[in-house]
Structure 1
Amino acid sequence: MPMRDTPWPAGTPCWVDYGAADLAAAKEFYAALLGWEYTGGDEEFGGYLNAEKDGAQVAGLGPQMDPDDPPRWTTYFATDDAAATVTRIREAGGTVVVEPMEVGPLGTMVVALDPQGHPFGLWQSGEHTGVQRYNEPGSLVWNEAAVDDPDAARAFYGAVFGFRFEAIPAGEGYTTFATGGDPLGGLGGAVPGVPKGWSTCFAVTSTDGAVATVTSAGGKVLLPAEDTEYGRFAVVADPWGASFSVMEVPAG
C-alpha cells in the first residue's frame, strides 16, 4: 500500500487534476470508475475538490476555468522553488501561463506550456504535498508525454528538471526519465489516435472492466486494451473528451 505524506522530490510528477465541464457528472463518473470519494469544494478555492481513495488524496477536480480550453488531466511536477523553475522554463523556450500563485497555505502552483505547446504544471508543496496514495487501484501509477519531437522535448524537460533519460528496449524511441534512481515517467513520439501531450495513467484492478465502465458511461476507447510487460493497458476518453489511461495492477 504505497503511501506518502511528505513533499515529493523536485521533478517528480506529484499531482494530477482535472478541469471539468460538468463537475457533478465528472465526480460521479470517476467515483464509479476508480472508487473515489471527495473532500473540499470550498468557495474560497473555486470549488476545487480533492479526490480520495481510502481516505488518502489521489487527484484533484475543479470547474473548467476556460470554456475554450477542453477538459483535460494536467500533470504537475514537484518543485522546491517555483520561481527558479519558471525561470528555467522560459530560458528553455517554454511559456508560463499562470505565474507562481500561492493557494493559501496549501502551496504554490504554476501552469506552463512546453515549446511544443503541451501544458503541464508545477507544485511547490505547503500543507498539500500532492498524491498520498499511488501505484495501487484507484490511484496514479504513471505519467508520460507523447510529442511530435521527442528529442526537443527531452532537451526542454532535461533543462528544466535535470532529467536523465533511458531508452526502453524495443520501445521505438520511448524513454523513461528520472532524476535519481527509479524512473519517474516516460516520454515518446506521438501515437496515432491518441492525443499529444502529457497523459495520466490510473491503476485499476481490471483493465477490461475499467474500459467497460468508461464505454457504458459514454466514454470512448482510443487504444484498445493490450497486454504489456508492465500490465494490461488501455487509453480511453471520458464522456467529455478528456483522455487518460488505465493499467491493471494487483490489488494491495
Structure 2
Amino acid sequence: MAAFMHSAPCWVDVQLPDLEAGKRFYGELFGWTFRAGEDVERGGHCVDALSGGKLVAALAAKQDGRMPTAWGIYFATDDIAATVARIRQAGGQVITEPVRVGSAGVLAQAADPGGAVFGLWQAGDRSGFHKQNEPGSFCWTEVYTRQKDRVDAFYEQVFGFRGTDLGAAGRGGSGRGEPGTGGSGTTEAGTDAPGPAGSGTGEPRTGKPRTSKPGTGESETPESETPGSGPVESGIGGSGADVPGVDFRMWSPAGTEPGPDTAIGGRSVITDAFPAEMPSYFLTYFAVADCDAAAETGIHLGGRVSVAPFDIPYGRMAVLHDNQGAEFAVLQPPVSR
C-alpha cells in the first residue's frame, strides 16, 4: 500500500456545530461531495468529503459544545506509540491516547509546548487523503505560536523536521489575518480522523510543489485589514527585501534537503502585540482555482473574509471563516507562463 512519508501532513478534518450546514457550505465552496463516515453507526455524526471522487477531508458534528469549531491537521507516523512517547519527552501534551479506528488505522491527538493541537495518524486500510495540491484539496499548513524556540525544538525532536528560516533572508510572503477563536481543532477520537470510513491508499508524499506553497513570513497588509489585527501585519510581499522582525521557519521531513522544494509546513510567530489569551493554532490551506471567486463565494454562503485576496510569491491567497466560524485559508497557485 502506498503511504505518506513519516511526519507528512496526511489528513484534515473540521468540527462543526451543524454538520448539514457545513456540508452545504463546503459543498458549494469547493465542489465537495459527501459520504457517510464509519461513525454513521453511532448516529451519523461524521462524513467524508470527496473532490472529484477522491477523499480529501472529513466533517464532524461536535459532540461537546466546549470543543472548538476549527480545522485540525494530522501528521503521518509509522509508529504512533513511539511518536506519542517522543511528544511527552519533548514537552508536549498527549490529549487522546492512541485509539484504533476499525481497520482504517490508529489516531492520537496532542498539543505542542505552545498549546497548538495536532493529530497523529498511523495508517491501516486508509493512509489519509487521496488528493492534495489540487483545487478543492489540502495544500499547506503552518502553526502560529509565541514559544518559537520550544516549538521548533519540539517538532524537530518529535518528527525529525529540518528547518529553513526565511525571515532573515527576506524571502517568502504569507500574510495572515486575525486568528480564529477556537485554536487549532481538537477532535473526538474515532469520529473524524483518516479512518472514519472507507479505505484506500494515497500517493507517496515527499514534499509539496513550490507553486502551491504559501510559504513564509509575511506579505503586505491587504487594504481590508487593519494593521495589528492579526499575528502578522506587514512584510516583504515577495520583494526580496530584508524585513526586520519577520520570523518564519519552513519544515522539511527528515531525510530531505531542507528548503522550499521539500517543505511540508511552517511556523510563524504570534507577537506580544496580541492578547495573551490568543491561542496557538494551526492554519490549514486549501488550493483553489480562483482565490477571489472563492472569497466571494464564502461570503455569499454566510462566511466571512478576514484577509482579503492578495498576491504572494506562491500565488494568491485569502483567509476565510466558514458559516460557523472555522478558519482556513485558500491559495490559488500562480499561472505558469
TM-score normalised to the size of structure 2?
0.70
Q: How many angstroms apart in 2 are the aligned matches of 1:65 and 1:151?
A: 35
1:7 has 2:87 as partner: no
Matched, 1:227 2:311: yes
Aligned with residue 300 of structure 2, among 213, 216, 221: 216
SS at match of 1:58: strand
Aligned to 2:251: 177
Q: Which has the higher contact order (CA 8 A, sep 6+)?
A: 2
Deviation per CA, 1:208-247: give whole Å up to 9, x if none: 1111111112212122211001010111111211100000
Q: 1:131 to 1:110 in 2, by over 3 A?
A: same
What's the CA shift for 1:249? 2.5
Unaligned runs of 5+ in 2: 171-216, 218-245
Q: Secondary structure at the match of 1:223?
A: strand
Q: Hey, which of these two has a bigger chunk of strand by percent? A: 1
- 8 Å Cα contact 1:137-1:249 kept in structure 2: no
The reply to whether residue 98 of structure 1 matches residue 178 of structure 2 is no
Matched, 1:30 2:26: yes
Contact 1:136 1:250 in 2 (8 A): no
1:117 is paired with a residue whose SS is coil
Q: What one-letter code is carried by the residue in structure 2 that aligns with 1:141?
A: C
Q: How many residues align?
A: 248
1:157-172 matches, cutoff 5 A: 157-168=155-166, 169-170=169-170, 171=217, 172=246
Structure possessing the higher radius of gyration over alpha carbons: 2
Q: Which stretch shifts more, 37-46 or 162-171?
A: 37-46
Alpha-carbon offset, residue 92 of structure 1: 0.9
Misfit runs of 4+, over 2 Å: 40-48, 190-196
- CA offset at residue 66 of structure 1? 2.3
Deviation sequence 1:17-62 (CA, Å, 0-9, x none)? 0111100010110011111011223423663221111111011111
Q: CA RMSD in A?
A: 2.0
Whole-Å Cα distance in 2 between the matches of residues 34 and 167 of structure 1? 32
- Residue 124 of structure 1 deviates from its aligned partner by 0.3
Residue aligning to 1:151: 149
TM-score, normalised by the number of residues in structure 1: 0.92
**Structure 1 residues without counterparts, runs of 5 or longer:** none
